[in-house]
Amino acid sequence: MSQTTQPVFDPNEVVVFSDAMIKQMNEVVNKFPQDKEKSAIIRILHLAQAEYAWLSVPVMNKIAEFLKIQPIEVYEVATFYTMFHLQPVGKHVLEVCRTGPCMLVGSDQLIQHIEHKLNIKVGETTSDGMFTLKTAECLGGCGYGPLLQCRNTYHEHLTIEKADALIEQYRNGEIQ
Amino acid sequence: MKNRRLLLEHVDVPGIDGIEVYVKHGGYASLEKALKKMSPEDVLEEVKKSGLRGRGGAGFPTGMKWSFLAKPEGVPRYLVCNADESEPGTFKDRYLMEKLPHLLIEGMILSSFALGANQSYIYIRGEFMYVLNILEKAIAEAYAKGYLGKNILGSGYDLDLVVTPGGGAYICGEETALLESLEGKRGNPRIKPPFPAVKGLWGCPTVVNNVESIAAVVPIVRDGGDAYAAIGIGRSTGTKLISACGNLARPGVYEIDLGLSVEEFIYGDDYCRGIANGKQLKACVPGGSSVPILPHFLVTKTATGEDRLMTYESLAEGGFSSGSMLGSGGFIIFDEDQCIVRNTWNFARFYAHESCGQCSPCREGTGWMEKVLSRIEHGQGHMHDIDLLADINKKIEGNTICPLGDAAAWPVAAAIHHFREEFEWHIKHPSEAQTRNYGLIQQPVVA
Amino acid sequence: MPNVLMMVKVTIDGIEVEVEAGTSILNAARKIGGDAVPPAMCYYSKLPGTGGKCRTCLVEVAAGSTADPRPMPKLVASCSTPVQDGMVVNNKTSERVHNNRGGVVEFLLANHPLDCPICDQAGECHLQDLGYEHGSAKTRYEEERRTFDPIDIGNKIKLHMNRCILCYRCVFVANQLTENRVHGVLHRGEHAEISTFIEQAVENDFSGNMIDVCPVGALTDRTFRFKSRVWFLKPMDAERSCSKCCGKAVVWMFGNEIYRVTARKDKYGEVEDIDGKTAWLCNDCRFEHKSAADWNIAGPRVISRNSVISQGKYATSIEKPVKRIG
């Protein structure tokens, strides 16, 4: 099995950041001393991911342009940190913690259940584009497991039933 | 003795995350005291007297760390708070920041004042974005009240405080990887020397401290270092946040006086109230996933039969043959149904996933251990794999750039040391191993 | 005391040497030479910032300094640990160093394809040398090896990520010798790889130096690909007038034909300093001048007799002829 990391993208895609986005990006940059703009990169990647759902090559190139650094410096950072999606994802990304303490209280079973319920494997997206299922390493909620994170929200003390209800709420748009 | 709660005293007060309520309950009194009546050296002196040891896991005396900070003329110094809490089993800092953001901010101002830093950062793991929002709101309140910014409380001291997120990488809890990440790079730990106290953030002298260590400066300044040192036993002074998880009746974050017995912590009514669902204790990892696991008969008593206490020293009693470490205070309990092989594989997978890949023993060794353990857990193991694992372990330990190599090696070494029979059983009974657990190990008969 | 160099004494494998304060253990050992010198796969003295990563240069510090003679508990990376006055270091003489270095070599080889028979680097590969000295005859690694497809980064350089040991040297070359770095280290842990991420060429006047600094066969010269084994070629010191670089190179010849051009390297495999400057080669000299008429050929390059490159009949002609025994 060969690892391929060449991302598929349209080199002609033009990314234009909204004024609101540029304002936010400047606010982040201004938190750091002059000439230290690169420190803003991780937070800017989070902002871009909130805006575009995932980080495509043209988006990352645009960030490089904004920070006046080489595109490779953005790729290096974006591929190092696991929170960044470098491939298209569903509307809701469910990231279930699978590390030791969560496993002791049933995260393996929870992951299996969600796979079965959504009819996808970990790493896949449902055919309607609604959910992507991922696993995460320790999310820092060990005493409240099993748990999953969806965007900035932690859903803790999950059971199979609670997870079912949660997925329905996301599906129906009751929670965003 | 119980529930002295220096840090968590007001945690249940409604609205304590807001500045008004926090101030009403004595908040920012330490700051007023320090800025109006103390010099930076006085604050450092109180921290030294307190005996406070780094609460992130290493347990290095905080006052000593501060005194190592280089102070060349005309070069800025930085204080960076390590809020990249990612050690499996540890969730105390998140609890503290979420519930008591101003306690951390007050601690940051006090500590920055003591170190002579005018710009400080809180680096928080990216997954805690909602906590970052809580902190930013609290920081804005502190600026509005004049606790941050120029000429704080008329003292002439200036401080700016910024919170910045990570992006999902356990390694950024290592202080030099954290600084790399804060500079907007990959979280590769730096080669030391130079140490951050000499060359840290952007090449300037920097102190990196854990959230809980910084928060503890608030009661230390308020009550004096001696009062803090009066709590605890020997070199384990003060209180410690313990995040308890796994198969416990009442998991959660507790503030204990160091010196509490492990027995009382696990079974006491004020603490975890025993093992969940009336099961028996099988094993315990007392200080976060990277410290050695202890079988049930070494949890509440040491190998020599003394009561095991929640202190740096007592938990380490017996070294790697019968002891463990207090570490970050991530207390993980395994009940009789849990499989040690599966858990060891799980932890090994965690470290392989979190290795930065910079140095060869960790990059290749963690991945190798994970694959061997996965085979054993999934019924494909050989007897020689156990010794192979033990040997890979030895080749990683101590040979890496940063402590992640050790953190990956210790749990595997300890699991094989204490639960070797369970590994052998897995290899001998591949089909059963996937459906049921080996069970409780027997206490060795002392002749 | 500005401008006064402090000298310190350090003992390595029982041999004392005096060096400037701040010198690394490795460079102090290189001053002694011979068996006292630890191997280095990632450190490259001509590229500031390299080192510390591969861990093959681990040594034992038996005494930290005269002031604090306690031994250091862990083995240390000799390339990035400065000497102290009175420091006592064990390299070749330490069993512990030998064992642990063997461990590091095993890690480096764990996912290595061992495709030396078809690798252009064979014969001048540092991992081969290291494996020969410290490796075991058989592997204990039973797992599936990670594999990557070889890719072209530009029309002159081939990247075989399978062979890479992630020394980061090529990244430092790109940072320090070229203007715009387009390749780097992506992903992390055992998935870390050298890549451009999106398919693109590394086009720069000095990018070819990445090939020279690569300790293994991860970055190789496409203009020399599968043309010959290096030990069939005659390395000759050669020079041409070049506006971009020093123009001082080694041309590798078969008969009158030049098969490839490399920089001149010293016994540690590092590009030599000529007239006080590191003799990096530009791509023009390296890739575009393969005719003997392009070069002023000075004469055969002296190659260590231990090297496979001098194992052919040719080697003895540049050194004093050695009588074979038996």
pLDDT tens digit sequence for B306-339? 999 999 999 999 999 999 999 999 999 999 999 9
Nearest to A72 among C146, C181, C191 (CB): C181
Answer whether residue C303 is part of any domain: yes
Residue C313's pLDDT is 44
pLDDT at A1 over 50: no
Residue C318's pLDDT is 47
**Residues of C with CB below 8 A from B400's CB?**
55
How far, CA to CA in Å, does B113 sit from each of B22, B106, B152, B156, B157?
Answer: 21, 11, 10, 11, 8
pLDDT above 90 covers a percentage of chain B that reads 94
Q: Cis link prior to B193 (omega < 30° from 0)?
A: yes
Identify the domain boundary among C224, C252, C274.
C224
C220 and C257 co-located in one domain? no
C302 and C239 co-located in one domain? yes
CB distance A15 to A74 below 8 Å? no
Residue C315's pLDDT is 43
- Total-model pTM: 0.95
CB distance C58 to C97 below 8 Å? yes
**Residues of A with CB below 8 A from B338's CB?**
104
Answer whether residue C323 is part of any domain: no
CB distance B267 to B252 below 8 Å? no
CA atoms of B231 and B218, how far apart (whole Å): 15
Q: Which residues contact B205 (CB under 8 A, 6 or more apart)?
A: B69, B70, B71, B72, B75, B77, B78, B196, B197, B198, B199
**Residues of A with CB below 8 A from C188's CB?**
79-80
Residue from B172, B191, B364, B384 to probe the interface with C (highest C Cβ count within 10 Å): B364
Interchain pair B398, C82: CB under 8 A: no
CB distance B365 to B413 below 8 Å? no
C162 and C267 co-located in one domain? no
CA atoms of A114 and A171, how far apart (whole Å): 14
CA atoms of A55 and A64, how far apart (whole Å): 12
Domain count, chain C: 3
CA atoms of B63 and A164, how far apart (whole Å): 50
C62 and C44 co-located in one domain? yes
Closest chain A residue to the Cα of C183, Cα to Cα: A72
DSSP 3-state assignment of B258? coil
CA atoms of C189 and A88, how far apart (whole Å): 23
In chain C the beta strands, taken as DSSP E runs, fall at: 7-12, 15-20, 58-63, 76-77, 87-90, 147-148, 151-152, 157-159, 184-186, 193-195, 219-221, 234-239, 248-254, 257-262, 273-274, 277-278, 296-300
Cβ–Cβ contact C200 with A under 8 A: no
Convert the pLDDT of each residue in A124-154 to its tens digit: 999 999 999 999 999 999 999 999 999 999 9
Q: How far is C76 from chain B (nearest CA, A)?
A: 8
Domain holding C220: CATH number?
3.30.70.20
Residue C138's pLDDT is 84
Answer whether residue C174 is part of any domain: yes
CB distance B238 to B256 below 8 Å? no
CB distance B272 to B38 below 8 Å? no
Identify the domain boundary among C67, C84, C103.
C103
**Residues of B with CB below 8 A from C141's CB?**
368
C196 and C247 co-located in one domain? no
DSSP notation for A86-112: -S---SEEEEEE-SHHHHHTTHHHHHH
CB distance B444 to B420 below 8 Å? no
CB distance B433 to B200 below 8 Å? no
The chain B residues in contact with chain C (CB within 8 A) are 169, 186, 191, 193, 352-361, 363-368, 371-372, 388, 394-395, 398-401
C181 and C218 co-located in one domain? yes
Mean pLDDT by 10 residues, chain C (326 residues): 78 97 97 96 97 97 96 97 97 96 96 93 93 86 93 91 97 94 95 90 90 97 92 94 96 94 95 95 96 94 77 49 52
Answer whether residue C31 is part of any domain: yes
C82 and C133 co-located in one domain? no
Answer whether residue C326 is part of any domain: no
CB distance B209 to B62 below 8 Å? yes
Q: Cis link prior to C71 (omega < 30° from 0)?
A: no
Query: How do strand C151-152 and strand C58-63 relate by DSSP bridges?
Result: unpaired
pLDDT at B440 over 80: no
CB distance B141 to B17 below 8 Å? no
C132 and C217 co-located in one domain? yes
Residue that the structure tokens 């680096």 belong to:
B123
Residue A3's pLDDT is 57
Chain centroid to Cα B94, Å, comes to: 11
pLDDT at B441 over 80: no
Domain containing residue C154: 111-224
How far, CA to CA in Å, does A130 sit from each of A30, A87, A172?
Answer: 36, 15, 10
pLDDT at A94 over 80: yes
Residue B270's pLDDT is 94
Helix (H) or strand (E) holding B133: helix B129-144
Name which of C44, C24, C25 is nearest C269 in CA terms.
Answer: C44
Residue C3's pLDDT is 58
Closest chain A residue to the Cα of B95, Cα to Cα: A141
CB distance C36 to C13 below 8 Å? yes
Q: What is the ipTM of this complex?
A: 0.96
pLDDT at A13 over 90: no
C120 and C52 co-located in one domain? no
Residue with the larger pLDDT of the pair C312 and A15: A15
CA-based radius of gyration for chain A: 18
Helix (H) or strand (E) holding B229: helix B225-229
Residue B3's pLDDT is 56
Answer whether residue C240 is part of any domain: yes
C187 and C234 co-located in one domain? no
pLDDT at A4 over 80: no
pLDDT at B434 over 90: no
C248 and C157 co-located in one domain? no
**Residues of C with CB below 8 A from B371's CB?**
143
Convert the pLDDT of each residue in B94-133 to its tens digit: 999 999 999 999 999 999 999 999 999 999 999 999 999 9
Q: How far is C128 from chain B (nearest CA, A)?
A: 16
CA atoms of C129 and C140, how far apart (whole Å): 20
Touching partners of C (3+ C-beta pairs < 8 Å)? A, B
The chain A residues in contact with chain B (CB within 8 A) are 31-33, 36-43, 45-46, 73, 76-78, 80-84, 98-101, 103-105, 136-145, 149, 152-154
Answer whether residue C37 is part of any domain: yes
C115 and C190 co-located in one domain? yes
Convert the pLDDT of each residue in C146-185 to its tens digit: 999 999 988 899 999 999 999 999 999 999 999 889 999 9
Interchain pair B398, C188: CB under 8 A: no
Domain holding C34: CATH number?
3.10.20.740
Identify the domain boundary among C75, C103, C131.
C103
Residue from C72, C106, C185 to probe the interface with B (highest B Cβ count within 10 Å): C106
Residue C200's pLDDT is 82
Answer whether residue C88 is part of any domain: yes
Q: Which range is least confidently modeled, B226-240, B254-268, B377-391, C299-313?
A: C299-313
